[in-house]
Amino acid sequence: MTKFILKIRYEFKNTLFEEEKGRDRGESLLISPQSSFYASTVMICVKSQHFDLNRILLLAIGLWPYQKSKFSQLQATLCFGILTSFVVFQFTALITTKCTADFIIKIFSSTTFFSLYIIKYNMFWINTHHVRNLLEQLQYICNELKDENELAIFKKYGNYTRCCTVIFTSFAICSAFIATLLPIWPQILGTVLYINESQLQSQTIQIVTEYFVDQQKYIYLIILHTNAVIYIGAITITATGTMILGCVIHTCGLFTIANYRIEQAMRTKILENINLNNRNMICKKIFYAIEIHRKAMKFINFMLSSFEGSFLLLIAICVISLSLNIFAIFCNASLGNKEAFILHLLFVLVIFLYMFIANYAGQEILNYGTHIYSTAYNVRWYNAPLHVQKMILLILQRGSKTFGLNVAGLFAISLECFAMLTKASTSYFTVIYTMQQ
């Protein structure tokens, strides 16, 4: 296989040498990345145009990889400390309270959810250099684009990234706002005309904590800590999630560009009039299609390998947390506890949405990879010159094996995986519910 690839590259270099002797000006504008058209093209700044909203969110919690000041380091330490301390203070309740099965499940239903915030935050904090490398790789690939249509495709998928970030940020803000208002929602609705400190303490969000202080005296500080965790966590899961989703969306854009190059190279008019110039142009375009396809695969594999351990931990915690919070919903519904019911329902919606979006993104990678294979297979490759057919064979060989997001060889991220994880969560909930009866 290695000898075959080297042979293809050798033939390609020869065709480039022949084309330098006889190509005209118009053709060079279409196919040469070093042409005057390419040099005059306005460059796209990926991190400031496609990831500008992500940059704002990550700067807010001290995770933007290009910000390395002492203030950002202090900011990151403070945010991580707030998230971690909240989970610790929930576990300390196991020390001062009699541990029953219901109480343990109540503690773990919330701690597992807030642990997702810690995992996501830590995933980006310790892998800052990987996040920066991902952005730089995207910028490098973008700088090599030579065609207006290809740049338009890249911009379109960049706009998709921004739209997704806006939508999910809006959802996160609404969810955090609802969670913040839960302690005082009776007052807002007019069902309670006055709430003193003792009443306010009894209506706090149903998250059990133990600070080893007089909770009635420091109720406002406890609420401040809880609200800080909610908002920092919402920003964390939105900023990191949309950043990874943006990388997946851009990979789909690169697959689309590869597909476009194959279609342009194998146009019917060109194949009907095979001459030296057309033959060289087809060879160059197919080569560039193979190159960008290879770079897209390399880019997404680098992203997976950078966060593989965190992804595995996230999958496990999501399944456990989903099971426990579904059980908490049933328990609080039977007891008529509206505040706790809404809170755990919110937890379930967030986890469910997060799992669905992640697996849907993996499904899109599968679909785009299959589409490239179908395009290479359905074009009139049999009318192309022999060395072009050999190059198309490389794409067909890659496409014959399913390419997708595979985490540690255990989970192939797709809608099928989402169904499997949801089924597993439901099964665990059934077991817990049966044991409690």
Per-residue model confidence as pLDDT tens digits over 374-421: 777 776 666 666 666 666 776 667 666 677 788 888 888 899 999 999
Q: CB-based contacts of 10: which residues, under 8 Å, 6+ apart?
A: none
Question: Do 398 and 293 form a contact (C-beta atoms < 8 A)?
Answer: yes
Measured distance CA(310)–CA(312) in Å, rounded? 5
Q: Taking phi first (over 0 means left), then psi (-120 to 50 degrees means alpha), and beta for anything else, what does residue 212 get? A: left
Which residues, at least 6 apart from 207, have a Cβ–Cβ distance to it below 8 Å? 90, 110, 226, 343
Residue by residue, DSSP assigns 406-433 as EETTTEEESHHHHHHHHHHHHHHHHHHH
* Cα–Cα dist 184/292, whole Å: 54
SS3 label, residue 405: strand
Separation of first and last alpha carbons in the chain:
61
Residue 419: what pLDDT?
94
Note the pLDDT of residue 158: 93
Measured CA to CA, the distance from residue 159 to residue 227 in angstroms comes to 32
Extract the residue ranges of the chain whose pLDDT is less than 70: 1-42, 183-206, 267-279, 379-391, 394-396, 398-401, 437
- Let me know how long the chain is: 437
Tokens of 285: 């375009």
For the chain, domain boundaries: 2-436
Q: Parallel, antiparallel, or unpaired: how do β-strands 405-407 and 411-413 relate?
A: antiparallel
Report residue 324 as tokens. Answer: 């426990």
Residue 120's nearest CA partner among 276, 243, 299, 302 is 243
Residue carrying structure tokens 């042409």: 35
Percent of the chain that is helix, strand, coil (3-state, to 5): 80, 0, 20
H helix intervals, 192-337:
197-202, 219-265, 268-272, 276-306, 308-335
pLDDT of residue 404: 76
CB 219 within 8 A of CB 200: yes
Q: What is the pTM of this model?
A: 0.82
pLDDT at residue 180, rounded to an integer: 82
The pLDDT, as a whole number, for residue 14 is: 47
Q: Please state the φ and ψ torsions of residue 97, each to the nearest 5 degrees.
A: -120, 145
Q: In this predicted structure, what is the pLDDT of residue 41?
A: 45
Q: How far is CA 124 from CA 128, 236, 275, in A?
A: 6, 9, 53
Please tell me the predicted confidence (pLDDT) of residue 192: 46
Tell me, what DSSP letter sits at residue 146? Answer: -
Residue 434 has a pLDDT of 86
Closest CA to 259 of 296, 303, 229: 296
Residue 22 and residue 277 in contact, taking contact as beta carbons nearer than 8 Å: yes
* The dihedral sign for the CA sequence 327, 330, 334, 338: positive
Tell me the one-letter amino acid at 409: G
d(CA 21, CA 151): 29
The pLDDT of residue 138 = 93
Which pair of tokens denotes residue 318? 């999501």
CA 238 from centroid of its chain's CA atoms? 9
Eight-class DSSP state of 191: S
- Which CA distances in Å does 144 have to 44, 140, 151, 390? 11, 7, 10, 24
Q: Find out whether 105 and 432 touch, Cβ atoms under 8 Å.
A: yes
Q: How far is CA 107 from CA 94, 111, 132, 145, 348, in A?
A: 8, 6, 37, 52, 15
Q: At what angle do helices 101-125 and 128-143 cross, to 10 degrees?
A: 50
Q: What pLDDT, on a 0 to 100 scale, did the predictor assign at position 399?
A: 60
Identify the pLDDT of residue 381: 62
